A and B are shown apart, each in its own frame.
Chain A
Amino acid sequence: MNFLSYTVKRFMQLIPVLFGISLGIFSLIHLVPGDPADTILGQRADAARSAQVHHALGIDRPLPEQYLSFLNHLLHGSLGNSFFTQQSVASLIQGRLAVTFFLLIGGVLFSILISLPLAIFAASKEGAVRDQVVRVIPIIGLGMPQVWTGLQLILLFGLKFKWFPVSGFGDTFWQHFRSAILPCMAIAISLSPILIRSLRSSILQIMESDFVLTANAKGLKKSRILALHIVRNAVIASVTVLGVNIAYLVGATVVIERVFALPGTGSLMINAIGSRDFPVVQGVTLFFAIAVVLVNFLTDVVHAALDPRVVIK
């Protein structure tokens, strides 16, 4: 019951957050100068033809009226249509979600595959050479820009060994899978440093806790203590770290999509911002904002489920 009321309370908090996000997104994109008519008409745009385009797009109306219309569409489940391609924003996002999901899920999986063994390896002997070496890795990892990391992976595995395609996403599932390996590795290399640090310190902290001492005293096997007690508890903290970093991860996909020419939501948003395609910018930002808020919500709920001491104060 306690857990249920926590979940409901936490969910109720989302409503004002989402409303605030919608207002924030709308205000920001309209505060930024720049005219969509320039994209449609190009350099040949003059005042008279620009005004015609403004009217046709409905952006000559007062901002509050435009916001209400945006909200109205939202309540009816529509994110509007792109100014330039006339396609619905929802369909544009839908067409590109697969790429972003491949990157997010693959990036997180690769990060865990890299981080967990290294963190356990480092924490198994605090202060030893192995620990020092693993602790240096995050510093190097954080210092490598994703663009550079991506290009190095392409040079090595795409151009030299020809194991993976240099760019693109392919048409079949198998091609998608092959195309996503290098980008996911690039994301993992930039995300792992944060995970390694958090996992290592959590493991060290848990290794000194009473229940681990008790387990040791009971004569449980070290590997069993590690797997069942230490890692399980350390992962709780890392779930929170991953949740907090989901926004960073989404940001990383934008850069990686560009380097690997992947048709994901990141490139959709970058192009929409550049051309001032307001409905697309609003739609994609809102989608990601909701995704981040929901992931954080789920993180808290999972955290509460794993750790009964968590309550809202």
Chain B
Amino acid sequence: MKKPFKLLTAAISVSLAATAFIAVPAHADNASPSGDLVLERNQDFATFNPDLAQNDSIFIQQQIFEPLFMINQDGKNVSPWLAKSASVASDKVTWTIKLRTDVKFSDGTPMTSADVKFSLDTAVKGNGWGFLDTAIKSVTATAPDTVVIVTNTPWAPLLSDLACFSNAILPNNYGGQTADAFFKNPIGTGPFKFDSWVPGSYIKFVANKNYWQPGKPYLNSVTWKYVPDDNTRALDLQSGQSDINEFPPATSVAQLKTTPGIVVTPFPAAQSEYLAMNEKVPALADVHVRRALSYALDRKSIIKVVLAGLGVPSNSILAPNVGYYDPKTPGIQFDLKKAAAELAMSKFSKGLKLEYLSSSGSVEDRAMSSIFQADLKKIGVTLTIKAQEPKVKRQTQKAMNYQITSTAWTMDISDPDELMTFALSPKEGGTFDFYTNYNNPSVVAAVKAGQSTVDPVARQKAYSYAQTTTANEAMMMYVYNAPYIYSWSKKITGFQVTPTLQYHMENVKKSN
């Protein structure tokens, strides 16, 4: 019983030691931030409430609100952020979190354990992201700089969960306001503070002079502008009307690279593109059919067409930038001979007809389904393509009235637990394993072991087993891992994005 505890303590200590660089000794007022940055994106900001946030709001909220722990640049682990350290008792369920004592909210009020308790208690009850915190039994503020968290069972992903944006630290009791009033004019510990918001147009933040990292942020203001059209965003950047373009289409990268004054960078991303197969369809319940289909998927051609070559064929349910990803996972790759051989071993060796449900208006889906259709024909499988509006497609998928459909996942936390539970534990995940109806009790057991086993070596063993088994059984077709693409003006330096989409705008500078 003692060994795992020692290993976990060692793992946490290593993680904390590796990030000693952020251990700032004392607070210092920010000297003089300068430069006004405009970042353009194709999604309109929706809410400051972390519990209701989706991609439209998450990256923006993170400039105002910060969590206790922060996902590292490699996306695989976390480091203390508003917390100073974490340790777990020998009972493996009692965690003591020490807080930084130099953190202030943007109105100058110091952050204390009361704020942390309030924030985590609120997050646990959340309808939106509260499911990430189901392991948390209680949060107690034992001293102004100490919080004790007790989990229901030993819970290895706790620090990763605490690093999620949904567990950000807000002022106790919303600073004496109602939640609605607070989220209209929020206060946080982040590098920027709220300035103004014109829905449908832009949201503007200005430097938080009380920020706890001395000398940061370097920028005077950041404006997040909603520009839905890809071409207009590219032209805005070219004309100098914006500084950063979020997610230009992969197919435009070659052209952008030749544009003077513009930098284009793909950042490694913890995201995966899959093709789900509905096992309620008799043919798709046959593992040989699933393997045959997966062998017939020409991932490299798809990457060439859809991502202009900017991506890698996927071999595991986990993306390479997720903790416990196993590079040796035997994910099926394109091989038409093996596809024909697998089909011959199935009950459908004489050929079969299947339907691909694609998202109307999606260039990616259209290209992927057409390439797949052409290759399947060569092994005697007729694939028809049916397109539905994205929300309708989603409903069809949830009702399990589809046969094959595209689906994707982007990690919210560095630990694989969230995805593994969602995708491989039919009961706990609540979605019949990505609406595939796949169910392998030994994989479910491995996912549970990964949650509760504190020993990193044992966790790796459990997650490797889950990755290998699901790859062999072609639980889904793993298609590709695409990067996050950004283009920006050469006036901008220090812009980095983590695999889980933290922007760290406090490190960004803009020259004249």
Contacts and interface: CB of A to CB of B under 8 A. Distances in A.
Tell me, yes or no, whether A binds B.
yes
A195 to B, nearest CB: 27
Contacts of B152: none
Interface stretch (A38-46, A72-80, A107-115, A228-236): A38-46
A84 interface: yes
A151 B235 CA distance: 9
Interface of A: 32-35, 38-44, 46-49, 52-53, 56, 84-87, 92, 95-96, 147, 151, 154-155, 158-159, 162, 165-169, 171, 258-264, 267-268, 271, 274-276
Given A151-B231, A154-B232, A33 B391 contact: yes
A159 B239 contact: yes
A201 to B, nearest CB: 36
B409 interface: yes
Nearest to A56: B127
Contact of B395 (A35, A92, A147): A35
B143 to A, nearest CB: 35
A226 to B, nearest CB: 42
Interface string B107-147: 00000000000000000000111010000000000000000
A35 B429 contact: no
Contacts of A264: 200
B127 A261 contact: no
Given A166-B236, A261-B225, A261-B227, 6 more contacts: A43-B409, A44-B422, A53-B127, A86-B180, A259-B232, A274-B391
Contacts of A44: 129, 131, 422
Q: Which of A33, A171, A260 has the most CB of B within 10 A?
A: A33
Contacts of B362: none
Interface stretch (B44-52, B285-293, B341-349): B44-52
Given A84-B46, A154-B235, A35 B391 contact: yes
B199 A166 contact: no
8 contacts: A40-B54, A41-B127, A85-B199, A86-B180, A147-B229, A151-B231, A159-B235, A261-B227
Nearest to A261: B227
Given A35-B395, A46-B429, A276-B391, A52 B241 contact: no
A84 B47 contact: yes
B259 to A, nearest CB: 11
Interface residues of B, number: 42
A238 to B, nearest CB: 32
Contacts of B232: 151, 154, 166-167, 259-261
A114 B409 CA distance: 51
A168 B391 contact: no
A269 B155 CA distance: 44
Contact of B394 (A38, A158, A169, A261): A38
A155 B239 CA distance: 10
Q: Which of B129, B391, B398, B422 has the most CB of A within 10 A?
A: B391
B391 A48 contact: no
Top 6 nearest A-B pairs by Cβ distance? Answer: A46-B430, A34-B391, A263-B200, A263-B201, A261-B227, A33-B392
B235 A261 contact: no
Given A35-B391, A35-B395, A40 B241 contact: no
Given A49-B131, A85-B46, A258-B228, A263 B395 contact: no
Q: Which of A39, A166, A171, A276 has the most CB of B within 10 A?
A: A166
B198 interface: yes
Contacts of A48: 430
A213 B490 CA distance: 70
A30 B128 CA distance: 24
Contacts of A41: 127-128
A261 B199 contact: no
A162 B239 contact: yes
B235 A155 contact: yes
B335 interface: no
A165 B241 contact: yes
